[in-house]
Amino acid sequence: MSIQKIMVIGAGQMGSGIAQVCAQAGFDVKLNDMKEEFFARGLGTITKNLSRNVDKGRMTESEKEAILGRLTKSLDINDANDVDLVIEAAVENMGIKQSIFKQLDTIAPAHAILASNTSSLPITELAAVTNRPEQVIGMHFMNPVPVMKLVEIIRGLATTDDVYQTIEDMTKKLEKVPVEVNDFPGFVANRILMPMINEAIYTLYEGVATKEAIDDVMKLGMNHPMGPLTLADFIGLDTCLYIMETLYEGFGDSKYRPCPLLRKYVKAGWLGKKSGRGFYIYES
């Protein structure tokens, strides 16, 4: 099938990035969120990213305006009634995502594919609340979306080969690299990344080294561009905790038990860069 119209649900950091790359690739995109201010913030982020590309000579002002012209505001989920693909990028919570997918199943055209940008939750479980499980798939983009090349494409139990191929081809049009992944908790990226971050938090919790030392070891010793505690702050400690809990629940293995310090920081509201404080303090 051919994809021309896309709705992205959630105008936050991930959703706005997904909407941007889709519009850049020539797709007509409806960017949906619940409130006007959420949409405005997302559009502001996209505009800033595109303006930076103009300043650096990567695109012209007219190309920027054409991309913005392909983006439409949506404050109503019923706007999904004429799209070919919906990419859900709402908060990482199964109950919320299932509610969205139930609604989309009744609103979106019969041919439409329903995709989730979930970073850890089972696609099969999301698909089960719809009457089109064969047309439900995972598209896990990496953050920041406009920069990172990888998209994990996750088949649910019922996802058809045609739907998979359509999404793989569309991902290539976004100038991303699709990687096929089976439906296991955390998929590949977060099943490997999050336990590493969790172990870094344990080394801080147990007093093995300071946060700066832990980050330096991984940057200078392992050639990581960012230390794991800085990366956790960037991702959001609440998101890190939720993914670790998903892994722990999904596998029942103690190696995925979230560090108590991570829980304590989240309960304190120290969520990382977005809240101004996590393992490090950030100026507003």
Q: Which residues are catalytic?
A: 119, 140, 152, 190
200 is an annotated ligand-binding site residue: no
Contacts from 115-118 at CB under 8 Å and sequence distance 24+? 115/85, 115/86, 115/87, 115/88, 115/139, 115/167, 116/87, 116/88, 117/10, 117/14, 117/15, 117/18, 117/87, 117/88, 117/89, 117/141, 118/88, 118/92
In DSSP terms, 73 is beta-bridged to: 31
143 is an annotated ligand-binding site residue: yes
User: In the structure, how many helices (H) and strands (E) does the chain have?
Assistant: 12, 8
198 is an annotated ligand-binding site residue: no
275 is an annotated ligand-binding site residue: no
Provide the 10 A C-beta neighbour count for residue 162. 12
CA angle 195, 201, 207 (to 5 degrees): 140
99 is an annotated ligand-binding site residue: no
In DSSP terms, 32 is beta-bridged to: 9, 74
97 is an annotated ligand-binding site residue: yes
165 is an annotated ligand-binding site residue: no
Cα(186)–Cα(87) distance, rounded to whole angstroms?
A: 18
**What secondary structure letter does DSSP report for 26?**
T
11 is an annotated ligand-binding site residue: yes
CA 173 to chain centre: 18
211 is an annotated ligand-binding site residue: no
Contacts with 137 (C-beta within 8 Å, 6 or more apart), sequence order:
113, 114, 115, 116, 123, 153, 154, 155, 156, 159, 163, 164, 167
Task: Look at strands 113-116 and 28-32 and give their pairing.
Answer: unpaired
15 is an annotated ligand-binding site residue: yes
Selection from 119, 124, 132 nearest residue 236 by Cα = 119
119 is an annotated ligand-binding site residue: yes
Binding residues: 10-15, 33, 92, 97, 119, 143, 274
Q: Which residues are annotated as a binding site for NAD(+)?
A: 10-15, 33, 92, 97, 119, 143, 274
